[in-house]
Amino acid sequence: MITAIIIISAYILGSIPSGLIIGKVFYKTDIREHGSGNLGGTNTFRTLGIKAGLIVTIMDIIKGTVATQIPNLFDFSEIYMLLAGVIAVVGHMYPIFANFRGGKAVATSGGVILGYAPLLFIVALTVFFLCLYLTKYVSLSSMLTALIALIYSLFTGDIPLIIVMGALSTFVFYRHRANIMRIRNKTEPKIKWL
């Protein structure tokens, strides 16, 4: 029963459409009708600007972090922290509150890592901005960061973390299928602010 509560709570938390809320409440804009049509931070940056993009990204990270802490309310093991985190990421990608059209799993996955392995989060954040500085592609930086985070987890010896990082990395790559094609075709937009 408690396990079901954790799973449902994590999914509902992950389903909160940060980009949609910020866009509609403060900008009278449905970001699904602009840019990539995605509800994540990147499309918010492109559609609504840096301030809105930062707020949405932080909100999406917080969803993942808070989800990992739900099992602690019931004194459950650390494995449940990761389970709740993965469920929140699924909610972020396929939110019940936004017709199952959500983000690309990056920020919320980062939040899961922050909640479970803060040092790995710092490494991932550093890698992301380094890749972003070098390539100017948010999508490529996200995928490279997911890959490095997975490789990092292999050296921790933490089997549940390795499995979850494998799942989260798979989510990130799967959700960036169109971006991969655009990168190959040299039509993927680059950022201009870094």
Non-local (6+) Cβ contacts of 138 within 8 A are: 42, 132, 191
Instruction: Say yes or no to pLDDT of 186 above 90.
Output: yes
pLDDT at 67 over 80: yes
CA nearest to 113, candidates 145, 79, 134, 82: 82
Reply yes or no on whether the pLDDT at 194 is more than 80. Answer: no
Asked whether the predicted pLDDT for residue 71 surpasses 80, the reply is yes
Per residue in 18-52, pLDDT (tens digit) is 999 999 999 999 999 998 888 899 999 999 999 99
Q: What is the 3-state secondary structure (H, E, C) of the chain?
A: CHHHHHHHHHHHHHHCCHHHHHHHHHHCCCHHHCCCCCCCHHHHHHHHCHHHHHHHHHHHHHHHHHHHHHHHHHCCCHHHHHHHHHHHHHHHHCCHHHCCCCCCCHHHHHHHHHHHCHHHHHHHHHHHHHHHHHHCCHHHHHHHHHHHHHHHHHCCCCHHHHHHHHHHHHHHHHHCHHHHHHHHCCCCCCCCCC
Q: Is the pLDDT of residue 142 over 90?
A: yes
C-alpha span between 99 and 115 (Å, rounded): 27
The predicted pLDDT at position 36 comes to 84
In this structure, what token pair is assigned to residue 183?
């990168």
- The percentage of residues in the chain with a pLDDT greater than 70, rounded to a whole number, is 100
Query: Tokens 């089997």 — which residue?
Result: 159
